[in-house]
Structure 1
């Protein structure tokens, strides 16, 4: 896919779990909002504190985000990048995840999602994603069976 310069870019990680992706993005110079559901926040915050040097910790903020719900706590379209690692697995969350991506995106936002495509439901999510965004596979690691997809708002130039 090439090099992505995250310095001084605004990034949000969805469904962060341990926060590894958000921590790395912060270390690479981004201003990162690392999100997950309420039950994961204490562990997530402790990982951020333990793994970021004190001088750059202010660039990483841990916030609660339940997809499709707490959206009013975030500025719509305020992020340069939306990152998600292994967050496509519960079919009952797909509509809320798409609603969240739609809310957080501007025309310039780049979404990067890494996932395994294991079941028919995973293909269903990709179809749903393609219904709202322009989607391309930018990397595939065959040794781990992990795909990385890039998504952006579909170009509106056809509307004119």
Structure 2
């Protein structure tokens, strides 16, 4: 919800109007719904400016086969709380890299509440740290915002070749 509020309140920094947007979500699609209400051509919403396109996407190696890079180009890739299961973080990073081409901006919001409980969730903590390290190795990364009271960090990333 915080990521959605941030998208709506900071339209001058992240202008989604008439942009091609992909959500690499793992939940209800709330980020897509909000992005669509802000003018993207992403998925159905009553006030949508465009007919949306909704496609099933499995993170990982098959993304190159299922989504031809010459067809699928995005201005923004949105990710909200997607680093949740340590078995899928490598596939997530492969998918992020594939869709984040020069000219694409990736925005990733992640809850960090469990970092304070790392002794109870050591495996998740370790996989999160590896993911962050790998994420920073393959993208130009900026911490856009930290919301301490909600334990959320919002990152912006672009392709290293940019």
TM-score, with structure 1 as normaliser: 0.77
Instruction: Give yes or no for contact 2:41–2:48 (8 Å, CA) kept in 1.
Output: no
Structure-1 residue corresponding to 2:88:
93
How many aligned residue pairs are there? Answer: 138
2:137 aligned with 1:131: yes
2:57 aligned with 1:65: yes
- Displacement, 1:112? 0.5
Structure-2 residue corresponding to 1:43:
none
Q: For 1:115-134, what per-residue CA distance to the aligned partner results, in whole angstroms no more than 9, with x for missing partners?
A: 02322322221101011111
Cα distance in 1 for partners of 2:14, 2:53 equals 21
2:37 aligned with 1:27: yes
Listed as ranges, the matches of 1:1-160 within 5 Å are 3-32=13-42, 48=44, 52-53=45-46, 56=48, 58-68=50-60, 69-76=62-69, 78-117=73-112, 118=115, 119-155=125-161
Which portions of structure 1, spanning 4 or more consecutive aligned residues, are displaced by more than 6 angstroms? none
Q: 2:59 is paired with a residue of what secondary structure?
A: coil
Query: Greater CA deviation, 67-76 or 92-101?
Result: 67-76
Unaligned stretches of 5+ in structure 1? 34-47
Q: For 1:75-120, what per-residue CA distance to the aligned partner results, in whole angstroms no more than 9, with x for missing partners?
A: 4260110001110121221111111111112111101111023223
Bigger share in strand: 1
CA RMSD for the aligned pairs?
2.1
Cα distance in 2 for partners of 1:96, 1:58 equals 30
